[in-house]
Structure 1
Amino acid sequence: MWSAQDVARDQVRRQADSLCIAAVADKVAEAAFRERETAEQLRQGGSSSGFGMDPERLAAMWAAKHAEWRRVRGLMVEAGWDVYEPDRDVQGSEWAREREARREGALAARAVYEEQRREAADGLRAQLWLSAVPSRLIRAVAARAGLRPAYVLAQLAERVVVAEDGTVSVPPFMPSR
């Protein structure tokens, strides 16, 4: 769901909170080392991680972290901050809001998808072959109501009443949209 830059920005924002400029400089140096290390391992075709992470993704992550740590260090130097405070980082805060909005959107879309899947699982999809007479009746009713025949059949099915003795009936109704 998130790009390497998104993940790096989120992690750096959390890890940098309350760090002094010297600690941030150490993080820049570590990220530079890791970026070189993972890029070299990728060039050699070796596995970058014992955790099963895609070597290309890991290399991209360290490159993004290195860039973000450099941005944070530059911001601190330019603004004259003794320690990094995420809330004062305008660009970092904007990116965090965008990530959260995308996350919420993805979660909402997933919830809609899951609900549709549940509803589809509860529903019945059937192909129905009727003889000529009932077929003509259904088509005539559908035409008068301005509906497709399948919708009339669905409305019939929704109104089915099963009596205690097992008989099936449908009370009179007007098909509607």
Structure 2
Amino acid sequence: MWSAQDVARDQVRRRASGLDMAAVAEQVAGAAARERETTEQLRRGGSFSEFERDPERLAAIWTAKHVEWQRVRDLMAQTGWGAYEPERDAQGSKWAHEREERRDGALAARAAFEARRRGEADELRAELWLSAAPSRLIRAAAERAGLMPAQLLAQLAERVVVGEDGTVSVPPFTPSR
């Protein structure tokens, strides 16, 4: 759901809160080292760990973290802050707000998908193969009614009556659009 930059910005924003310039400088150096390590490991084609399934993404995240730590360091130097305060970081706050909006949108889309899926749970989709004679009858009846054969079959299915003895029948009806 989030890009490497989004992940890096979120993590740096949380970790940097309250850090002074020296601590941020350490984080910049650490991120630079991890960026070099992951880029080299990716170039060699070796695995990172049993837990890392996407080495390209890990390398991209460390590159983005390095860039974000540098941005935080530069912001603190420009503004003269003694410690990083995420609330005062206008650009970081804007990005955090955008991430939350995307997250909320994705969660709403997922909830809507789940609701549709639950609504469709009682539906039945079937592929039906009929022999020539019944197929011709269905096609002719559907054509007279101005329907697709599948629509006529759906109307037939909606009117099915199951008797107490298990017999299945459809009372006479006129197909409609």
Q: TM-score range by the shorter chain?
A: 0.7 to 0.9
Q: CA deviation at 1:70?
A: 0.6
Q: State the shift of 1:63 in Å.
A: 1.2
Contact 1:31 1:65 (8 Å CA) reproduced: yes
Distance 1:27 1:159 in 2: 70
> How far 1:97 sits from its partner (Å)?
2.8
Change (3 A) 1:23 1:142: same
Mapped pair 1:119 → 2:120: yes
Find out whether 1:129 has 2:108 as its counterpart: no
Matched, 1:167 2:167: yes
Partner of 2:52, secondary structure, is coil
Structure 2: 5+ residue stretches without partners:
none
C-alpha distance in 2 between matches for 1:174 and 1:101:
51
1:30: which partner in 2? 30
Q: Quote how far apart the aligned CAs of 1:74 are.
A: 1.4
SS at match of 1:123: coil
TM-score by length of 2: 0.78
1: distance between equivalents of 2:43 and 2:140?
71
Using the alignment, how far apart are the partners of 2:55 and 2:139 within structure 1?
A: 61
Matched to 1:80, the amino acid is: G
**Corresponding residue for 1:81?**
81
Report how far residue 45 of structure 1 moved: 4.0
| TM-superposition CA deviations, 1:120-149 (whole Å, max 9, x none) | 7952413231554x5555334423443212
1:41-120 correspondence runs (5 A):
41-49=41-49, 51-111=51-111, 112=113, 115-116=116-117, 119=120
1:4 alignment partner AA? A
What letter is aligned with 1:60?
Answer: A
Provide Cα deviations, 1:80-116, integer angstroms capped at 9, x if missing partner.
3332222322222222233333334444444527844
Runs of 5+ unmatched residues, structure 1: none
Q: Count how many residue pairs are aligned between Structure 1 and Structure 2.
A: 176
**Larger deviation: 13-22 or 150-159?**
13-22
Query: Structure 1 residues 108-117 or 59-68, which shifts more?
Result: 108-117
